[in-house]
A and B are shown apart, each in its own frame.
Chain A
């Protein structure tokens, strides 16, 4: 009896393409196979390997919320061979998807707490999944705050959703761009993410912080959160080590005893402190 081939992707049809910012696109993907569509399920925080047939696979998070059924979304920046090929695709084209892989954000544990999401640049997609998930389960949580920064206004992704979030009464959105990155009609803040977080007057009391961004932003934001009194167990992030298999075999994402593809990508700062800083 032959076992299942764990490297075989689902075939997905591109249902919608959104241009988010220069070289950044969001795909909405629908399963070609109805049976797969019915049985597929994932939790927020998980990721997948997306194939451009002819070029290979690339790893990104699932950027949509599991509460939105029938499709998944991914957002990617064109940086390499596979993402360049994906960027050339059009609506109706077929791509591959393997997943969902990895661990999840523990939403059950966050019930009754305040949530602070802090994201920088292209790192909003993993948080977008969990933000929508939390908004769709709004009564589980107390205050929800989102801080999102990018270098320039043009680099902000999900602009339509940012507008929607800014208008929602049940959450607070703070957007910021780096000094010099503002446009004349920019109404958000100007400044780097860490000081913006510091000035928000957040309370660490009964609050979890979910941080995702470029390494430098994370590096400078963590001390701010610790200064505000967030214990390492209440700070979550998601790692983006290079991966090939996604199923704990190929060794590429191995960091300490952890396989980011299996034990991650979601880690608390307390967990990260136990790992060598090889991410």
Chain B
């Protein structure tokens, strides 16, 4: 922690960055995103298990880009999101100063290559609770699973907290906001909710870095992250590809190969 603060102050004092994006104390035991813009604010930074938000979601925001170059405190899921954003050409190598955090240790990663190398050493594992729930869902009959999700989606009100918290949902014009044509109904009724979550899941298949932030963001506790995680796992199974590993990537769902095993594509 002290090393992080030290480095944050240095970066700010030398003018290498305009802000250090990390975590600070929030309401009660909560931690929240915090932009230290002056060396004097660095003291507010904290780092512990409660720091879960994927801060990469801020990296593509206009308001944040306008600040100038930013250093970002990046636990593993954030690291994966950052490299995936590079793979999708939303971030350039070197746009951000990445302060990688792994089990308390801080490592500054200056380049995409360094980030890639760093990530290659990390095993990506699912949260135990999510693993159990996913297994339970997998074991369900199709009808039961359908009923489960219908019941969950009935609480959805389309606040888009899941979309807006997701680092990979950076689109300037989200499909949900398009009305020519109106792909998905705006209303938060059963069809509107179902279509929204299906589209969100499909758009994140092969792109989800499995941080779980969408699920944590949901104010009514719908485990929407299980949808994108399971789609991600399916892409991994079928194409051997994982989001958040490489800074250059031919995205599985938009890559054509003449030796594809599916006959319909040939």
Bound form: Cα–Cα A80–B182 in Å: 11
Count of A interface residues, CB-CB < 8 Å: 3
Residue B173, interface by CB 8 Å: no
A-B CB contact pairs (8 Å), 6 listed: A80-B179, A80-B180, A81-B179, A81-B180, A81-B182, A84-B180
Closest 6 CB pairs of A and B: A81-B179, A81-B180, A84-B180, A80-B180, A81-B182, A80-B179
Report A70-98 CB contacts with B as 1/0, cut-off 8 Å.
00000000001100100000000000000
Q: Which residue of A lies closest to B180 (CB)?
A: A81
Bound form: Cα–Cα A201–B134 in Å: 77
Report B165-194 CB contacts with A as 1/0, cut-off 8 Å.
000000000000001101000000000000
Bound form: Cα–Cα A81–B182 in Å: 9
On chain B, the residues within 8 Å of A84 by CB distance are 180
On chain B, the residues within 8 Å of A80 by CB distance are 179-180
Report A43-85 CB contacts with B as 1/0, cut-off 8 Å.
0000000000000000000000000000000000000110010
Partner-A contacts on B (CB < 8 A): 179-180, 182
Q: What's the nearest-Cβ distance from chain A to residue B181, in Å?
A: 8
Secondary structure dominating the interface of B: loop
Q: What's the nearest-Cβ distance from chain A to residue B184, in Å?
A: 14
On chain A, the residues within 8 Å of B180 by CB distance are 80-81, 84
Q: Which residue of A lies closest to B178 (CB)?
A: A81
Q: What's the nearest-Cβ distance from chain A to residue B119, in Å?
A: 43
Bound form: Cα–Cα A106–B180 in Å: 39
On chain A, the residues within 8 Å of B182 by CB distance are 81
On chain B, the residues within 8 Å of A81 by CB distance are 179-180, 182
Bound form: Cα–Cα A81–B178 in Å: 10
Q: What's the nearest-Cβ distance from chain B to residue A51, in Å?
A: 15
Q: What's the nearest-Cβ distance from chain A to residue B232, in Å?
A: 34
Q: What's the nearest-Cβ distance from chain A to residue B90, in Å?
A: 28
Bound form: Cα–Cα A140–B9 in Å: 71
Bound form: Cα–Cα A147–B152 in Å: 60
Bound form: Cα–Cα A231–B179 in Å: 43
Q: What's the nearest-Cβ distance from chain B to residue A249, in Å?
A: 18
Q: What's the nearest-Cβ distance from chain B to residue A266, in Å?
A: 29
Q: Which residue of B lies closest to A84 (CB)?
A: B180
Q: What's the nearest-Cβ distance from chain B to residue A61, in Å?
A: 23
Q: What's the nearest-Cβ distance from chain B to residue A80, in Å?
A: 7
Q: Which residue of B lies closest to A82 (CB)?
A: B179
Q: Which residue of A lies closest to B181 (CB)?
A: A81
Q: What's the nearest-Cβ distance from chain A to residue B19, in Å?
A: 27
Bound form: Cα–Cα A80–B180 in Å: 8
Bound form: Cα–Cα A84–B182 in Å: 13
Q: What's the nearest-Cβ distance from chain A to residue B55, in Å?
A: 30
Q: What's the nearest-Cβ distance from chain A to residue B113, in Å?
A: 45
Bound form: Cα–Cα A84–B181 in Å: 11
Bound form: Cα–Cα A155–B96 in Å: 46
Q: What's the nearest-Cβ distance from chain B to residue A55, in Å?
A: 9
On chain A, the residues within 8 Å of B179 by CB distance are 80-81
Bound form: Cα–Cα A84–B180 in Å: 10
Q: What's the nearest-Cβ distance from chain A to residue B183, in Å?
A: 12
Bound form: Cα–Cα A81–B180 in Å: 6
Q: What's the nearest-Cβ distance from chain A to residue B186, in Å?
A: 10
Q: What's the nearest-Cβ distance from chain B to residue A83, in Å?
A: 11
Q: What's the nearest-Cβ distance from chain A to residue B240, in Å?
A: 42
Q: Which residue of B lies closest to A56 (CB)?
A: B179
Q: What's the nearest-Cβ distance from chain A to residue B58, in Å?
A: 25
Q: Which residue of A lies closest to B179 (CB)?
A: A81
